[in-house]
Amino acid sequence: AVVSTQSGHYGRGFNRVNFDPLTENYGTSFYLQYLVNWPEYCTVAESPSGQIMGYILGKSEGQAEEWHGHVTTLTVSPQFRRLGIAHTLMNQLEKISENQKCYFVDLFVRVGN
C-alpha cells in the first residue's frame, strides 16, 4: 500500500470508497475545506494498481493542553478491509499530530457504525 498526502488525481476513486454504507459522506465543500486548511492531515492509501483502498481526514484543533489532532473521517473500501490499512492511516495521522506538537488524538464513533 502506498500512503500519500498528495491530492490531485483521486476524484473518481473516492466515489468507490464513499458508496460503502459504513462510510460517512460529506459535501464537496467539506472535503475541500480539509484539503485547503489541513492538507497534511488528508491521507490516501492506494494499491499498487492505483486503486484507492481508503483515506483519512483530520485536523489540529484546541488550545494549550487541549491542542490535539482530530480524526474526522476514516474509511477503507470493503475489499481492502482486514489488511491493516486503517491502522496504517491512523499511524500516519498520529505522526502528523506529533509533528504539529499535539498532546493527543481524538476520534468520535457513531453508534450505528
pLDDT score at 9: 47
Cβ-based neighbour number of residue 55 at 10 Å: 27
pTM: 0.82
Over range 56-69, report the average pLDDT: 96
**Is the predicted pLDDT of residue 96 greater than 70, yes or no?**
yes
pLDDT in tens, 20-42: 777 777 888 888 999 999 999 99
Cβ-based neighbour number of residue 47 at 10 Å: 15
Cα separation, 42 vs 51, whole angstroms: 17
Q: Provide the mean pLDDT of the chain.
A: 86
Q: Which of 3, 82, 86 is nearest to 42 (CA)?
A: 3
pLDDT score at 44: 92
Higher pLDDT residue, 77 or 15? 77
Cell of 105: 488524538
Q: Number of helices (H) and strands (E) in the chain: give both, helices first.
A: 3, 5
**Is the predicted pLDDT of residue 102 greater than 70, yes or no?**
yes
